[in-house]
Amino acid sequence: MPSEEKVTYNLCQGWGCHEHCLVETHVKDGKIDRVQKCLFPGKRPANDICMKGILSAKIPYAKDRILHPLKRVGERGEGKFEQISWDQALDEISAKITEAAEKYGSRSIILNQFWCGYPGDWKSTHNDLIYRLAFAYDASILEYQAVDYGLTFGTAVVNGLFTVNSRRLPEDVGKEIIIWGGNPLGFTRPAASTHFLLDAQERGVKLVHISNLFDVTSARADQWVPVKSGTDGALALGMCSVVIEEGLYDAEFLLDKTSAAYLVNTETGAYARAAELIEGAGEGDFVAADKDGNLGVVAHPMGQPFAGYGDLTPDLFATIEANGAVYKTSMQLLREFCQEWTPEHQETVTGVPAETCRQVAREYIANSPAIIYLYYGLRYPNAVQSNRAILTLALLAGNVGRKGGTIMLAGQGDQTTMYGMDQNVIRFPREVRGMSDRVTIETILESFENPDVQQYKVWLNCMGNPLLNWPNKDMWRRRILPNIDLFVSWEIRMTDTARYADYVLPETTTFERYETVCDTDNCVMYCEPAIEPLGEAKSTAWIFSEIAKRIGVGSEFDLTAEEWQRVRIDEGMKGKNAIVFDDGQNPIGTEPITYDTLKKKKVMRVDIPPMIPEDGLSMDAHTTTTGRFEFYNELLNGIGHPFGDFEPIDILDDERRAEYPLQFYVGRHKYFMQGQFTNIAENHLLAEKQFGVALNPVEAKKRGMVDGEIVNVVNSRGTMRVPLQLRDDIPMGMAHTWYSFDEKHYPNTCCPQDLMHAENTPERETAVMRTYYPAYAYVNINVLGTPQVMTHVAGPYTPEGLWNQLCDVRKITSDGKEA
């Protein structure tokens, strides 16, 4: 009998890499036979696959797949469960939700929607339904750990808003791409970014990689510039100093696009308002001066095109005295600030030779248009300031908002969703009981100590694997979970988080459910089940509907998983068209996007005016003080950070280093992503020898250690006993490990997460964030109208910090003690 075959399109189960690939699933006799690259309509290549994508076919069949609802019978974390029926699970969970809501209010229910790593992420139906439940029930949404937002805040200070640039920008022009931090060619985002960066290199574009580690990107780059961890801001300032002192800056760009020529009152640190210096001029306008000290009003653009300087020929370096105060342009102040940051001085901080600093800076200018590709590779508490310093360099070069010459951010598709699909059609229920609240870990911890504030009792972990992915594990075990009455996790396998849950709900994999996502490369994708759900796994749409019914908001969840997709497309994308292509993939017209057409075509390329215009800036409505790009920020001047700069952090502190001399660096493994692939045998085969801690051979020799011996990795938070590898790609002063391996790989010893400090807690506050966060929140909530519950990073904590901890690696004597 011939076998029955079919092909479906499904989201890669990985997705946490933000490449957001769709995979082509080949099914034989009801079982996934293989998964391969899927082609998109239009130009090629437009979608890729990596080894994890190929192996995602094995995820539904993994040995630790959860196939039935489970109820904990042992202690939390012990991993002992009994199989129960769906009815029992849903009845008991719903009863506890209702009980907590009656006693402590509906806000005592916390929904975790940390989407990173979840197929479809914040664009998924699942994410929309979490919001819908939150708003229908007025539950709380968890503010997940602060991570990867250094760039968001850095660009927000300089630009007022998050600047999103297309990863397709380097396709035609540009002569150089500086990849600053991160490893886009290798570890984290290996599919489409790899392809286009290599295409650029093959066209003759020079790839420069600035990073603290030697990795795939360093190996493939034309030049690798090793920089000491956490000192990137200093290197950027050194390069700014070269550009300013050698007159290599783009004066025309600085005048046309930035506040470089605006006068600043050096007494107050504020930009001079026109009314302050020119009689009859406006309070909201600004002032520039020419070489003779004549003043001119520079009108605030108020979101309109910049009107220029009138008759004035502004002097970028003007200094004037008026009303007994000295006024200098922000460019002059930057020049003075950068005088300290000679290439020689930066070398003492970064370890980058002064000559290399000069060469990289000069070539960045000479090779303009050139791109700086920022890849979330600066996970230090000073990342906001470092990113500001890097953006300052780009502004000086005029390499912002120019085709082939701009700042590019990590390849999150092309962000089609933001203008392609209106997800609010699902997120907002017909009847909104309340706008919920976004609560931080700090708020939750505080509530345990103070019965007079809102209490948090039920934790619905609808997305994410916090017990593996988030530091500090000890905080979860000792401080959070003992105070939570109910901890439920939606899971496809026995993750670390599942092991600590009271109930584990078996969720369908991406191969077993319906989904529509408007994302990658401006395409909207239709995903249908490739296989029947295994065991008793259920779609989250079903799970939410069943819980909703039992807690009194069932009427808001009356659709099936497939029916929600129709709403997303027919209502959420109403009026949008797709490009029609001929067999040669040439565009020949457009057609309306409807659910029925999408279901037939599977992938449609949305016809939208380029969100990324020729100037490369997707959101050029600056909400900065001056309405222009600002490397000088008057608000942050108040706390001594007028410019992007180099802020000292723990790992650079000599006193702290005296006790724990090594940076404890926790990396993400290229074969494991956010931990979704740690249960796949093939991945383990390739990665298992890298389990443990790695040191540079010089550091190991100092400690009398050899490759392969078992060592203690120690800091004030704990001890992790693991094998040692000697690796030449690890710099001196660093102990390198991976966060990806599950807890069970560390029997009777700490995991890397134990040795990491917690995020979103008072000790993670920084002066920059304390000062800047309220302004950011104001813009997001009051100017853009984003509901507070939908903003990210709801607090003044450093938006980065995963790589800012120290440790030592110590030898173990034959009796098992530390030498």
Residue found by looking up tokens 């939750």 in the block: 444
CA-based nearest residue to 360, from 232, 170, 195, 217: 232
Asked whether position 37 contacts another protein by CB under 8 A, the answer is yes
Of 62, 84, 173, 216, the residue at the interface with another protein (CB under 8 A) is 216
What are the residue ranges of helices labelled H in 251-408? 251-257, 274-277, 330-338, 343-350, 354-366, 383-397
Asked whether position 355 contacts another protein by CB under 8 A, the answer is no
Asked whether position 601 contacts another protein by CB under 8 A, the answer is no
Asked whether position 228 contacts another protein by CB under 8 A, the answer is no
Distance CA 395, CA 401 (A): 9
Q: Which is nearer to another protein, 472 or 679 (CB)?
A: 679
Stretch that binds another protein, among 532-540, 588-596, 727-735, 757-765 (CB under 8 A): 727-735
CB of 730 to another protein, least distance (A): 8
Q: Which is nearer to another protein, 75 or 202 (CB)?
A: 202
Beta bridge partners of 31: 28
Asked whether position 706 contacts another protein by CB under 8 A, the answer is no
Distance CA 536, CA 471 (A): 32
Contact set for another protein, span 230-249 (CB under 8 A):
none
Q: Which is nearer to another protein, 30 or 592 (CB)?
A: 30
Of 3, 30, 31, 36, the residue at the interface with another protein (CB under 8 A) is 36
Secondary structure of residue 712 in the 3-state scheme:
strand
Q: Which is nearer to another protein, 111 or 192 (CB)?
A: 192
Secondary structure of residue 687 in the 3-state scheme:
helix
Residue 281: its H or E element: none
Q: Which is nearer to another protein, 466 or 692 (CB)?
A: 692
Pair 275, 322: CB distance under 8 Å: no
Of 55, 320, 360, 426, the residue at the interface with another protein (CB under 8 A) is 55
Helix, strand, coil shares, percent, the chain, to 5: 35, 20, 45
Of 307, 685, 783, 819, the residue at the interface with another protein (CB under 8 A) is 685
Token pair for residue 127? Answer: 């994410």
What's CA 696's distance to the chain center, in Å?
A: 29
Stretch that binds another protein, among 44-52, 110-118, 298-306, 772-780 (CB under 8 A): 44-52
Q: Which is nearer to another protein, 185 or 320 (CB)?
A: 185
Report strand pairing: 109-111 vs 407-408: unpaired
Q: CA 131 → CA 429, 548, 786, distances in Å?
A: 9, 13, 13
Q: Which is nearer to another protein, 686 or 706 (CB)?
A: 686
- Please state at what angle helix 354-366 crosses helix 232-245, rounded to 10 degrees: 60
Beta bridge partners of 721: 712
CB of 352 to another protein, least distance (A): 10
CB of 39 to another protein, least distance (A): 9
Asked whether position 54 contacts another protein by CB under 8 A, the answer is yes
Contact set for another protein, span 658-677 (CB under 8 A):
670-671
Question: How many binding residues for another protein (CB under 8 A)?
Answer: 51
Burial class (CB in 10 A: 0-12, 13-18, 19+), 768: buried
Question: CA-based Rg of the chain, rounded to a whole angstrom?
Answer: 27
Residue 731 DSSP label: P
Asked whether position 567 contacts another protein by CB under 8 A, the answer is no
In which order are the strands placed within the sheet that holds 176-180?
A: 223-226, 206-211, 176-180, 370-374, 407-408
CB of 185 to another protein, least distance (A): 5
Stretch that binds another protein, among 165-173, 220-228, 335-343, 606-614 (CB under 8 A): 220-228
Of 6, 9, 42, 51, the residue at the interface with another protein (CB under 8 A) is 51
Of 191, 384, 410, 543, the residue at the interface with another protein (CB under 8 A) is 191
Q: Which is nearer to another protein, 154 or 190 (CB)?
A: 190
CB of 413 to another protein, least distance (A): 16
CA-based nearest residue to 519, from 187, 47, 117, 24: 47
Residue found by looking up tokens 């509906």 in the block: 106
Residue 532: its H or E element: none
Asked whether position 723 contacts another protein by CB under 8 A, the answer is no
Stretch that binds another protein, among 134-142, 162-170, 373-381, 679-687 (CB under 8 A): 679-687
CB of 696 to another protein, least distance (A): 6
Q: Which amino acid is at 349?
A: V
CB of 28 to another protein, least distance (A): 11
CB of 662 to another protein, least distance (A): 15
Distance CA 775, CA 768 (A): 11
Stretch that binds another protein, among 244-252, 502-510, 545-553, 725-733 (CB under 8 A): 725-733
Contact set for another protein, span 295-354 (CB under 8 A):
none
∠ CA(157), CA(161), CA(166), 5° rounding? 120
Distance CA 344, CA 164 (A): 34
CA-based nearest residue to 570, from 539, 602, 593, 552: 593
Of 35, 635, 652, 720, the residue at the interface with another protein (CB under 8 A) is 35
Asked whether position 727 contacts another protein by CB under 8 A, the answer is yes
Secondary structure of residue 247 in the 3-state scheme:
coil
Distance CA 562, CA 527 (A): 10
Asked whether position 744 contacts another protein by CB under 8 A, the answer is no
Contact set for another protein, span 11-30 (CB under 8 A):
24, 26
Q: Which is nearer to another protein, 67 or 698 (CB)?
A: 698
Asked whether position 477 contacts another protein by CB under 8 A, the answer is no
Asked whether position 585 contacts another protein by CB under 8 A, the answer is no
Q: Which is nearer to another protein, 264 or 730 (CB)?
A: 730
Of 9, 86, 214, 306, the residue at the interface with another protein (CB under 8 A) is 214
Asked whether position 173 contacts another protein by CB under 8 A, the answer is no
Contact set for another protein, span 193-212 (CB under 8 A):
194-195, 198-199, 201-202
11 Cβ contact list (under 8 Å, min separation 6): 20, 21, 22, 23, 119, 120, 510, 515, 517, 525, 527
CB of 226 to another protein, least distance (A): 5
CB of 24 to another protein, least distance (A): 7
Asked whether position 709 contacts another protein by CB under 8 A, the answer is no
In 143-285, beta strands by DSSP E: 176-180, 206-211, 223-226, 263-265
Pair 287, 298: CB distance under 8 Å: yes
Asked whether position 76 contacts another protein by CB under 8 A, the answer is no
CA-based nearest residue to 382, from 817, 47, 802, 667: 802
CB of 370 to another protein, least distance (A): 21
What's CA 500's distance to the chain center, in Å?
A: 26
Residues that bind another protein (CB under 8 A): 7, 24, 26, 34-37, 45, 48-51, 53-55, 57, 185-186, 190-192, 194-195, 198-199, 201-202, 214, 216, 218-220, 224, 226, 670-671, 681-682, 685-687, 689-690, 696, 698, 727-732
